Structure 1
Amino acid sequence: MTDAIIDGLRNDTPGCAQRSHFNHAGASLPPRRVTEAIVGHLMLESTRGPMEAAALVADEFAILRTNAAKFIGADEGEVAFGGSGSALWGSVFAALPQLRSGERILIGRQEWGGNVASMQRAASHAGASIETIPCAEDGSVDPNALSAMIDDKVRMISLTWLPANGGLINDAEAIGRVANAARIPYFVDAGQALGQLPIDVSRIGCDVLKAAGRKYVRGPRGTALVYVRSNFLEKLDPSFVDVSSGPLVNGKVELRKDARLFETSEAPISLLLGLGEALALASELGVEAIQARIARLATRLRDGLKRIPAVEVRDLGEKQSGLVSFTVEGISASVVRRRLAEKSISIGANGVPYTPFDMTARGLQEIARASVSYFNTAGEVDGLIHAVEHIAKDAIQ
């Protein structure tokens, strides 16, 4: 990515003129083409009617499904869209055979809190258990430790690939090899990976993968996708269907035979068209090139923060992502976020509920999280480092 390309991307992102955005792991700044796709379709709905407008863009919607599937190495029939990655994940999880007493779910220590909550409720009702997989020395989920935990009571393995509370990249493929060898359902939360890392579901070996559109792929909030492996669908019994996913035919419910089993007949067409533009842009740029630039900027940020007294970088793992977590001695992460916002710099601040097992294991109550994207600049990174240094100096004084 040349300077000219980055300049063009920033000129096409109105938010870049107003602030330095380092909250891409929460929600990124959408490019103009995404916003125009959304507004354009809303205007079409206002003049033609929402149902009629949807019919007019049916071909574009079909292209979105094709491109989304290609983006993650899946077949078209293995991808469904929704408004929330967590809701899609929860719908597929709820469609699994009911847990029984004594059965086990194995999860990574950094599992997303929303996923944990759904699993915990189901396990507590059934008398089943949720167990965390031990970590390797670098803090990542240990595939060898997972192998040693496998027995005939394990009913599911769940992994958050890139945790929300820092830069760790878990080895999703290695975990997948263990799960596949044992023929245990394998769910992957790729919320922070979509648009940041190349994704090939066949290499990962997952049965289910979910991600939101608002993060690194730069789509609109309220969009998400889920992948469900085609030959895994037959093992699922959804708790909810409608006229699209399970229509009545001659008095009998006929369930869809593809991942759209987890879609509803009602959909935010304008938002999903915006997601289509975001996926198209990421494909044009190349996810490998995106990953490489994010890695360079994140390394620059980590190195700069490590040189500041009273600041501790909290990232784990030998392989790290664009999520940079840190704490400032004596100042809460929420206050750090607020102080930076006053300087027109946006970051995130995460508490225990987001990654409850990992935060508890490491004795962390809250972390500041600055997440870089490919259209950030080295100058913005240096500005963030300088601003954090000033906040840390106030803490020392």
Structure 2
Amino acid sequence: MIDIEKVRSDTPGCDSVLHFNNAGSSLMPAPVFDAVQRVLRDEYEVGGYEAERRAQDDIVAFYDEFAGLLNARPDEIAYVENATRAWDMAFYGLRLGPGDRVITHESEYASNYLALLQQSRRLGFQIDLAPSDAFGQIDVDALERMIGVDTRLIAITHVPTQGGLVNPAADVGRIARRHGVLYMLDACQSVGQIGLDVEVIGCDVLSGTGRKFLRGPRGTGFLYVRTSVIDRIDPPFVDLRSATWTESDGFRYADGARRFENWESYVAGRVGLMTAVRYARGIGLENIERRVFGLAQDLRDALSLVPGVELHDLGQVKCGIVTFRKDRIEPAALADLLRRKAINVSVSALPYARLDLERRNLPSLTRASVHYFNTEAEIGRFADAIRAA
């Protein structure tokens, strides 16, 4: 069980603004804020190098906490500045070329798909788009039929940015392993609200952010790379953190996933993200997932009773991201109206998920997402605000 009173006491912003935009930028718990402030205060008082030295225990703990969160090894974890760059560090290091094929899904995040398009143009590989099943999630049977001898990569997003869909990541993993195909999973929107076990999922690469459901600082992210595949990925760039200059004309990569890191990094953010993971693990990801999914269903049920509201979440399993439209008011205008009432939501629009939203003829959606610190009373207040809009 989650101690909601304790969680809300750690989240001062809950008292003044109703936050339903956790998929975009969640409220930071007080222990995370304090951890970031402690490092910044040291940087102010003694400088960056000494501040980093003082933070060494927490920097080391970053890898242990993420290993525990994902059921991985500490040396399979890298700190990267954000989720997109984490995904890029793995993808741009793959040795793809003419004749190779990469499978993705129409729910893929825009930044990832842009990278696929760019590298396809540069390297000549083919992008294959897996269809959706009746629930709107990736059709795993069709996916398996698409795999051929020239398929090199399956890359999908676990929870797309534009709705509550949860793609069947573990089913995809079983197919990838059966065919020996590298499997990349973007967990940007799922980490922190869904329990993630890389052994159960079967992914080779997993990337994510700190600022969403993990409730960490903005400008922080992470990358998991399975030990057995790490030598198949050539980091797109290196520095003296990710590689060692061994002789005048030679170098060697850092061991494990550290080869995907930069020497210069946001130390306060790294410590803050470690603290956010520790905070989430202290609550328990099973508890978090149960409460978030339950509150999200309560929100969908409440919105379904509001005249003129149409829900647009896909998937056999739906998470804490809730999307909808209301007649006669565009999502951006609705978000502005709600903000004036101290209610924060987000908007999902075409640039972020073009293939999916175009297929559904939805230029934009209101995204009202819950987290475990929200309450049933807040869901009622939100539904009333939508009814009055």
Which TM bucket (shorter chain)? over 0.9
Say which of 60, 63, 67 aligns to 2:61.
63
| C-alpha RMSD over aligned residues | 1.1
**Structure 2: distance between partners of 1:353 and 1:144:** 29
Structure 1 residue aligned with 2:86: 88
Deviations 1:246-268 (Å, cap 9, x if unpaired)? 12112211111310111011111
Structure 2 residue aligned with 1:312: 310
SS in 2 for 1:254: strand
8 Å contact 1:79–1:225 — kept in the other structure?
Answer: yes
How far does residue 64 in structure 1 lie from its aligned partner after superposition? 1.7
Deviations 1:306-328 (Å, cap 9, x if unpaired)? 11221100001121100000011
Deviations 1:337-369 (Å, cap 9, x if unpaired)? 111111100000011121121111111100000
Structure 1 residue aligned with 2:241: 244
**Match runs of 1:274-285 below 5 Å:** 274-285=272-283
Structure 2 residue aligned with 1:394: none
**Structure 1: distance between partners of 2:189 and 2:343:** 21
Structure 2 residue aligned with 1:376: 374
SS in 1 for 2:114: helix
- Aligned-partner residue type, residue 102 of structure 2: I
- Aligned-partner residue type, residue 258 of structure 2: R
How far does residue 129 in structure 1 lie from its aligned partner after superposition? 2.3
**Match runs of 1:24-173 below 5 Å:** 24-100=22-98, 102-173=99-170
Structure 2 residue aligned with 1:268: 266
SS in 2 for 1:210: strand
8 Å contact 2:96–2:125 — kept in the other structure?
Answer: no
8 Å contact 2:10–2:29 — kept in the other structure?
Answer: yes
**Structure 1: distance between partners of 2:235 and 2:23:** 30
- Aligned-partner residue type, residue 74 of structure 2: E
**Structure 1: distance between partners of 2:65 and 2:227:** 18
Structure 1: 4+ residue segments shifted above 3 A: none
**Structure 1: distance between partners of 2:228 and 2:285:** 28
Structure 2 residue aligned with 1:327: 325
- Aligned-partner residue type, residue 134 of structure 2: E
**Structure 2: distance between partners of 1:365 and 1:132:** 21
How far does residue 21 in structure 1 lie from its aligned partner after superposition? 0.3
Structure 1 residue aligned with 2:227: 230
**Match runs of 1:6-25 below 5 Å:** 6-25=4-23
**Structure 1: distance between partners of 2:186 and 2:292:** 20
Deviations 1:115-166 (Å, cap 9, x if unpaired)? 0000111112233322221111111111111011011221211111111111
- Aligned-partner residue type, residue 161 of structure 1: H
| Structure 1: gaps spanning 5 or more residues | 392-397
SS in 2 for 1:203: helix
SS in 1 for 2:287: helix
- Aligned-partner residue type, residue 146 of structure 1: L
**Structure 2: distance between partners of 1:27 and 1:193:** 13
8 Å contact 2:86–2:208 — kept in the other structure?
Answer: no
Does 2:191 match 1:194?
yes
**Structure 1: distance between partners of 2:252 and 2:100:** 31
Deviations 1:205-253 (Å, cap 9, x if unpaired)? 1110001011111101011011001111111112210011112112211
**Structure 2: distance between partners of 1:295 and 1:160:** 19
- Aligned-partner residue type, residue 50 of structure 1: G
- Aligned-partner residue type, residue 133 of structure 1: A
- Aligned-partner residue type, residue 213 of structure 1: G
- Of 48-57 and 196-205, more deviation after overlay is shown by 48-57
- Of 24-33 and 8-17, more deviation after overlay is shown by 8-17
**Structure 2: distance between partners of 1:275 and 1:331:** 37
Report the count of equivalent residues: 388
Deviations 1:65-92 (Å, cap 9, x if unpaired)? 1111111111011000111110111111
Structure 2 residue aligned with 1:300: 298
Deviations 1:149-195 (Å, cap 9, x if unpaired)? 01122121111111111111111000011111111111000011111
8 Å contact 1:247–1:254 — kept in the other structure?
Answer: yes
TM-score, length basis structure 2: 0.98
- Aligned-partner residue type, residue 190 of structure 2: A
**Structure 2: distance between partners of 1:286 and 1:201:** 17
**Structure 2: distance between partners of 1:337 and 1:132:** 32
How far does residue 47 in structure 1 lie from its aligned partner after superposition? 1.8
- Aligned-partner residue type, residue 52 of structure 2: A
